[in-house]
A and B are shown apart, each in its own frame.
Chain A
Amino acid sequence: MLFNLKDAFENTFVVTEKEYSKFLDLSNDHNPLHTDSDFAKSKGFEEKVMHGNILNAFISYFIGESLPSKNVIIHSQEIQYKNPVYLNDELKFSAHVSGVYTSVNAVEFKFNFKNLISKTVAKGKIQIGLLS
């Protein structure tokens, strides 16, 4: 079996200016929370907040490039954004297999992203299918 319950994976991601700029261009989301430091600080944040969906791009890399097989496809994804991410934050991504459904070739992962002070910035679940 390619995946077993509790198989664990880790990655480190950094939200650099490159990721931030590319996501701004891709999403066209220039909401001031993400682009205006003064606006973000006025709302109680330390700095402009990185788009939460940048983390979904990291998840895409995890599924598409980090797993033991490339024969995978994402079925569903849930994510909760627990704390803000700021420019140049280094994030530790951890995932483990939380369910294996061999009848339908599906695998479920639970994951979280933590920052350098071990605060969870996001967590969630992903279900993938194994392509034959």
Chain B
Amino acid sequence: MDRKQILEEVNEIFIDTLDDDEIVIKEGSSADDIEDWDSLTHIQLVVATEKAFSIRFTSKEIQSWQNVGEMINCIISK
């Protein structure tokens, strides 16, 4: 799966988790850009991402992410 495909998959996760078909996330997207991306939503996004990619993050990795791009870097590293 290339980076573009991962971004598309992550976008679908955001759409599903936030229940909003209009969401379009970019590499630079963060919680500041997306309404309803609160702390509980963040947990749901992480859980959904771990399930979708069959991976597990560490809490340290999650805390280091500044935006979606850094999250994708982490997915690729697994």
The residues of A with any CB-CB pair to B shorter than 8 Å are 75-76, 99, 101-106, 108, 127, 129
Contacts and interface: CB of A to CB of B under 8 A. Distances in A.
Interface centre among A101, A102, A105 (most CB of B within 10 A): A101
A102 B29 CA distance: 24
Interface of B: 40, 42-44, 46-47, 50-51, 56-59, 61-62
Nearest to B63: A103
B10 to A, nearest CB: 16
A contact face: mostly helix, strand, loop, or mixed: strand
A101 B62 CA distance: 12
Contacts of B46: 101, 103-104, 106
Contacts of A108: 47
A29 B69 CA distance: 48
Interface centre among B40, B61, B62 (most CB of A within 10 A): B40
A30 to B, nearest CB: 31
A103 B44 contact: no
Contacts of B62: 103-104
Given A101-B43, A101-B47, A105-B59, 5 more contacts: A76-B44, A101-B56, A103-B46, A103-B50, A127-B47
